[in-house]
Chains A and B, each alone.
Chain A
Amino acid sequence: MRKFALTAIAAAFALTAFTGGAAKAAGEGPVPEAQEWSWHGLFGTYDRAQLQRGFQVYKNICAGCHSLRFIAFRNLEGIGFNEDQIKAIAAEYDIEDGPNDDGDMFTRPGIASDYFPSPFPNSKAAAASNGGAIPPDLSLMAKARMHGPDYIVALMTGYEEEAPEGFDLADGKYYNHYFPGHQISMAPPLYDEAVEYTDGTPMTLEQHAHDVAAFLNWTAQPELEARKSLGWKVMLFLIVLTVMLYAVKRKIWRDVEH
């Protein structure tokens, strides 16, 4: 009996492991290279300096076309900005508000509780300015794509100057090794020294890509640090409780022939 059960369990695990792995690998486009991230592992946390650099990349480059509509300025506390810095960042943006007493909409400088404004008033306008392709919102990008931040890095660095021989690249499209179908409407957004870092970090394309991917992972999972830190405490507690329950179980059952 025991042997039979073990066979069944082994078969189940082997199948899940194998089919699971195979299924994951079968997505469109090549599998992006796995990167080292500071938040990996049971105790991983975000690197605040990296998130701030990533924010700088988003603000100076991506924000031209991509919205970040689930993020409010007040959320930037999570990447290490203090209240005054947040106020200053918010004030750089024009926010539409209203109607005022005359019934008109007006713009005012942003405040902490405002959300990042979209670069386009609506999706039609976004499509019209981008050759029909709507630049997606970036707030959840790291969760909405297979391989999340690894994919973002791969996409940012996966442009080729020219499409491979025989590849029929449509007008106004760019060849990207990692984009499903390889034809992407977004021009290569990042390049060496695209953004000026002040903390001495090398301003390479590679570095920019990593930083913005880290930032977008934070916008997608701002709860990650709270989740992991609560997580291992809960795990520890449960392990202790379960061991105790097992001891009680042994004690209660010790006189029973079973």
Chain B
Amino acid sequence: MSQSVQSSGEHQPDENRRDFLTLATTAVGVVGAGCALLPFVDSMNPSKDVLALASVEVNISNIPVGQAIKVMWRGKPVFIRHRTEREITEAEEVSLNELVDPQTDASRVEKKEWLIVVGVCTHLGCIPMGTATGEPRGDYDGWYCPCHGSHYDSSGRIRKGPAPANLVVPEYTFVSDTTVKIG
């Protein structure tokens, strides 16, 4: 190529002359480009219809003592367990020092006989076993997560295994003696 460009000649702008104007324009441009990306990122957040998803009302009158049911709430299972006297006592008598994530049983239930927790293992999101009759309930009469072996007690608290925290208690209220509204 016989031609070379004038880039090294008289038209090369002096690097030192990167004056205020150029800097300011660059700054404004970069800020603008950044702001332009925000709506795109925000579009990935939960949309209004997802946020408006209804709360669920569950009829709990036909859950016998000692059994539990699973209901769907916001795309996740919620465990509702009708606890036996023994399970309640076990849950209440554990000393807080023994717990990985110390919480009293009383702070986790509205009514002693009903335990309501989000059925998602706090380790990596599997669904623990122990809700249906006959499933393993782990070493503490609660739930057992088959993915990585976390044991939850009859208050849904983590007792053994890799999970870092207790099963989450969702917001709920008893609309009547037989109906609970989750969310």
Check whether chain A touches chain B (CB < 8 angstroms). yes
A15 to chain B, nearest CB (A): 34
A70 to chain B, nearest CB (A): 11
| Stretch from A147-155, A167-175, A197-205, A242-250 forming part of the interface with B | A242-250
Contact bitstring A231-258, B, C-beta under 8 A = 1, else 0: 0000001101100110110011001100
| Stretch from B22-30, B78-86, B115-123, B140-148 forming part of the interface with A | B22-30
Are A240 and B28 in contact, CB atoms less than 8 angstroms apart? Answer: yes
Determine whether B32 belongs to the interface, using a CB cutoff of 8 Å to chain A. yes
The complex places the Cα of A127 from the Cα of B59 at a distance, in Å, of 40
| Stretch from B49-57, B91-99, B166-174 forming part of the interface with A | B49-57
Contact bitstring B12-35, A, C-beta under 8 A = 1, else 0: 010000000110110011001000
B contact residues, range: 10 to 19
A165 to chain B, nearest CB (A): 53
Q: Of the candidates B10, B21, B29, B52, which one forms a contact with A74 in the assembled complex, judged by CB atoms under 8 Å apart?
A: B52
User: Which partner residue on chain A sits nearest B26 by CB separation?
Assistant: A248
Contact bitstring B62-74, A, C-beta under 8 A = 1, else 0: 0000000000000
Determine whether B11 belongs to the interface, using a CB cutoff of 8 Å to chain A. yes
Given contacts A113-B54, A255-B10, contact A101 B25 (CB under 8 A): no
Are A256 and B28 in contact, CB atoms less than 8 angstroms apart? Answer: no
Determine whether A220 belongs to the interface, using a CB cutoff of 8 Å to chain B. no
Determine whether A224 belongs to the interface, using a CB cutoff of 8 Å to chain B. no
> What chain B residues lie within 8 Å of A255 (beta carbons)?
10-11
Determine whether A112 belongs to the interface, using a CB cutoff of 8 Å to chain B. yes
> What chain B residues lie within 8 Å of A238 (beta carbons)?
32
User: Which partner residue on chain A sits nearest B35 by CB separation?
Assistant: A237
Q: Of the candidates A74, A101, A113, A241, which one forms a contact with B28 in the assembled complex, judged by CB atoms under 8 Å apart?
A: A241
> What chain A residues lie within 8 Å of B11 (beta carbons)?
255-256
> What chain B residues lie within 8 Å of A237 (beta carbons)?
32
User: Which partner residue on chain A sits nearest B23 by CB separation?
Assistant: A248
Determine whether A190 belongs to the interface, using a CB cutoff of 8 Å to chain B. no
The complex places the Cα of A226 from the Cα of B40 at a distance, in Å, of 16
User: Which partner residue on chain B sits nearest A255 by CB separation?
Assistant: B11
Q: Of the candidates A113, A241, A245, A251, which one forms a contact with B53 in the assembled complex, judged by CB atoms under 8 Å apart?
A: A113
Given contacts A255-B10, A255-B11, contact A245 B52 (CB under 8 A): no
A249 to chain B, nearest CB (A): 10
User: Which partner residue on chain A sits nearest B53 by CB separation?
Assistant: A113
Are B52 and A72 in contact, CB atoms less than 8 angstroms apart? Answer: yes
Are B28 and A112 in contact, CB atoms less than 8 angstroms apart? Answer: no
Are A241 and B29 in contact, CB atoms less than 8 angstroms apart? Answer: yes
> What chain A residues lie within 8 Å of B22 (beta carbons)?
248, 251
Are A248 and B21 in contact, CB atoms less than 8 angstroms apart? Answer: yes
Q: Of the candidates A74, A101, A111, A240, which one forms a contact with B59 in the assembled complex, judged by CB atoms under 8 Å apart?
A: A101
Are B54 and A245 in contact, CB atoms less than 8 angstroms apart? Answer: no
The complex places the Cα of A20 from the Cα of B52 at a distance, in Å, of 43
The complex places the Cα of A111 from the Cα of B54 at a distance, in Å, of 8
User: Which partner residue on chain B sits nearest A101 by CB separation?
Assistant: B59
Task: Provide a sorted-by-A list of 19 A–B residue pairs whose CB atoms are within 8 angstroms.
Answer: A72-B49, A74-B48, A74-B52, A113-B49, A113-B54, A237-B32, A240-B28, A241-B25, A241-B29, A241-B32, A244-B21, A244-B24, A244-B25, A245-B25, A245-B29, A247-B21, A248-B21, A248-B22, A251-B22
Which residues of A pack against B, CB within 8 Å?
72, 74, 101, 111-113, 237-238, 240-241, 244-245, 247-248, 251-252, 255-256
